[in-house]
Amino acid sequence: MAVARPAAAAQFVLVSAALGALIYAFVSFDFSVLYVASNSNSALPTFYRVAAVWGAHEGSLVLWQWILALWTLAVALLSGRLPITFAARVLGVLGIVSLGFHLFTLVTSNPFERLLPPAFDGRDLNPVLQDPALALHPPLLYTGYVGFAVAFAFACAAMLEGKMDQTWARWTRPWTTAAWAFLTIGIALGSWWAYYELGWGGYWFWDPVENASFMPWLIGTALIHSLAVTDKRGLFKAWTLLLAILAFSMSLLGTFLVRSGVLVSVHSFAADPSRGMFILAFLVVVIGGALSLYAWRAPLLRSPAGFELTARESFLLFNNVLLVIAATVVFGGTLAPLISDALGLGTLSVGTQYFNPTFLLPIIPLLALVSVGIHSNWKRGRIGDKTRVLVRTFALALALALALIYGAYGPAGKWLTPVGAVLGIWIILSSLVDPIDRLRRKMTLPRSVVGMTIAHIALGVFVLSLTVVESYTIERDAALRPGESLQLGRYAYRFEGIEPLEGPNYDGVRGEVTVFRDGKQVGRLFPEKRNYWVQGQVMTEADIDTRWNKNVFAALGEDLGAGSWSVRAQIRPLIDYVWLAALLMALGGAVAASDRRYRLATRTENEPLDVGPGVEGATS
Amino acid sequence: MRLKFVVPLIALAALATVLAVGVKRSPEKSTIQSALLGKPAPAFSLPSLTDPAAQVSAAQFAGQPYVLNVWGTWCPECRADHDMLMQAAAEQRLPLVGLNWKDDNAAALAWLAQLGNPYAAVAVDQEGRTAIDFGVYGAPETFLIDAQGVVVHRHVGALTREVWERDFLARLPAGVSPGGAS
């Protein structure tokens, strides 16, 4: 057991050495390494040479391993207060997961494969990935993905010990919340990148790869809330364990979907069936092992007390059920092509037409219940006491939403517009009631409450801004000659012409567009069309004028001949707040995870373990 | 061991089976369905997008190599594909036939009006029957069919300049003249 911590440290040092070596190979243009030759080029700037390390399959696996080693090390360093047997089991489970990934890399995906004789020059990093946001997106996303391994390891360790109590939940909460916060930023960064880099101004496509990151997020969100119940009330134990297993399973499944190439995707960068089989086998061993443990141990867990239908426990249960339904919707849509293919029902494609309406089914009730749930009490309902607060905040939200719709934007003709606006504002208002009340009564605000409030306000901002974006975005494409204009609402785009452009590893053209609002010039945009030399790929670089309440977007389409170009114009109100809300949500998570009570928690100060007496008998 | 605690395990087993089948089949998908490669292209005759009264059929393009491109306005990747198709059309090496798959006609026409129309003809496959005949897995997909009507190549995903030159132009017989798109 004493070996676990030094071993974690040694693993971190060794994986760091591997990652360092790979980074060095990239920075020093070592084209005798196949992976470097495939994903770099002598014209590639240094920053992207480092980011190119995780630009394809082999290197992103090394990054994955390094982050897992980092989490493992963090657990080893911060687990001083945990009982040594428990800490050893957690580190042991993390070690098994690491082992799987190390084996995977060694057997199927050696990043240091030699290329002899060395290439004269490299094939370059996929131009789509040559972007600052995308350079940071994988590390953040992986930190979130892999972070759920910690909650998973805690769950497995608890099941191995046959003990699971409120202290366990208190240990697990900050790790889960931290991983969730990273995942939130990672997803938001990916969406932001898609918006300005893919060139057509969309920000979420329900693409399999996006879904692969969104499913662990949904389950992780459910887990955070279910852990709160287990921590405060000692309930939902089996359910919490299952969610902890599921969250990491979704991470592994995401890795599988992205890396095996079973699904055709906008971003399917790597596809190899032998790799797919390996991850699948690994996934079955790890998740199957955990679920077997669950089937064996979970029935032995006892919950001490019940609760009333309108108590906070119920609302958190609804939250969990609805989030899991939402994740199932995404899961079903993502895997539908595979399932129908496996059953011999022919090919089937699932797109936005399925995801948008179906996803809203569980999400709208969920959002409506957030405001009510925030005001509920633990254990006893007494929601009647809160009726006045609920009615008042709702009335205020209704008034503000109507003022926003009719005052600022005008009716959109969609029923979702008022619903989204009211729910978003209601969530913001409801989140503020309790903290303001506490401050007024000169009570302290623990960080966990502050963090929760920030995250819930962020949710409200997210819902509100997304509603406005979806209701009031206007866009048009037109063929323009220099000097011609297109009209878009109160805006006019005048196409001034194009000029040639030369970058470090690309050339192309840069268009100039003057934007007028009500006839007055408000800005100039310079959308680009880049041709990356090595891969011969044409990239559309949109130009976006970011204002406090909207984005003015222009992208250059095709050269239509005779000096005429197709130009895409788009006005998206409040779009930046969608991503800022995600950042705020992550900040809320960070604040909550740093609460003192998690650091002080030790087993001694808590009530005795409430697992049935049969456990020890069952072990032998 | 109560049953409800075993349910997740059973679900995992079912999922793993489906995924294993998916992995087994994935090479066929990403390269070529061997059933079609080297075989005559499935015959089709579908309404034309641009002229509802007319039909677009495989027979019209017999005797010359042509490209069949499966697309839809609902498919984000098709926008990237479209860029390359416009370039390919400008080269006039061979006709591009569009198969507008499970799409809305008005949206498809608006797309072509805005982004340009690279196609010699666009067939409307509302029900997706022809796409199934071709074994289309997802849009965009592009098939190269030779003068004898045989499928010689299939590409899944957006075309790039590299793919276009390596997998399509390189497979054309030397005698194909520029301007064959007439």
Cβ contacts of B27 on chain A, cutoff 8 Å: 273
Name the A residues in 242-271 with CB < 8 Å from any B CB.
242, 245-246, 249, 256, 260-264, 266, 268, 271
The alpha carbon of residue A292 is apart from the nearest alpha carbon of chain B, in Å, by 7
**Can you spell out the DSSP letters for A531-581?**
EETTTTEEEEE-EEEE-SSEEEEEEEEEEEETTEEEEEEEEEETHHHHHHH
Instruction: Note the pLDDT of residue A299.
Output: 86
**A328 part of contact set with chain B, CB < 8 Å:** no
Instruction: Note the pLDDT of residue A327.
Output: 96
CATH of A474-575, one of 2.60.98, 2.60.40, 1.10.286, 3.40.50: 2.60.98
Cβ contacts of A273 on chain B, cutoff 8 Å: 23-24, 26-27
State the angle between helix axes of A237-260 and B7-30 in degrees (0 to 180), rounded to the nearest 10: 10
* pLDDT tens digits along A262-288: 665 444 444 566 777 888 899 999 999
B160–A198 CB contact, under 8 Å: no
Taking the domains of chain A in order of start, what are their residue ranges?
474-575
Q: What is the ipTM metric for this complex?
A: 0.80
User: For residue B164, what is the enclosing H or E element?
Assistant: none
Instruction: Note the pLDDT of residue B137.
Output: 65
Residues of chain B with pLDDT under 50: 28-34, 177-182
* pLDDT tens digits along A19-65: 999 999 999 988 888 888 888 888 888 999 999 998 888 898 999 99
Global confidence as pTM: 0.81
In the chain, the amino acid numbered B105 is N
Cα–Cα distance for residue pair A422/A300, rounded to 1 Å: 44
What average pLDDT is seen over chain A?
Answer: 86
A261–B6 CB contact, under 8 Å: no
Give the mutation candidate from A353, A531, A534, A558 for the B interface (greatest B CB count, under 10 A): A558
Note whether A15 and A69 are within 8 A (CB).
yes
B83–A558 CB contact, under 8 Å: yes
Cα–Cα distance for residue pair A167/A289, rounded to 1 Å: 24
Picking from A245, A296, A557, the nearest residue to B115 by CB comes out as A557
Instruction: Note the pLDDT of residue A459.
Output: 97
DSSP-based three-state secondary structure for B180:
coil
Give the mutation candidate from A108, A293, A341 for the B interface (greatest B CB count, under 10 A): A341
The alpha carbon of residue B143 is apart from the nearest alpha carbon of chain A, in Å, by 17
Instruction: Note the pLDDT of residue B177.
Output: 47
Which residues are A246's β-sheet partners? none
Cα–Cα distance for residue pair A492/A539, rounded to 1 Å: 25
A264–B75 CB contact, under 8 Å: no
Residues of chain A with pLDDT under 50: 265-270, 601-620
State the angle between helix axes of A352-374 and A387-402 in degrees (0 to 180), rounded to the nearest 10: 140
DSSP-based three-state secondary structure for B92:
coil
B23–A292 CB contact, under 8 Å: no
A536–B160 CB contact, under 8 Å: yes
A202–B76 CB contact, under 8 Å: yes
Rg of the Cα atoms in chain A: 26
* Residue B102 vs residues A139, A173, B141: alpha-carbon distances, Å: 37, 46, 14
Cα–Cα distance for residue pair A506/A44, rounded to 1 Å: 10
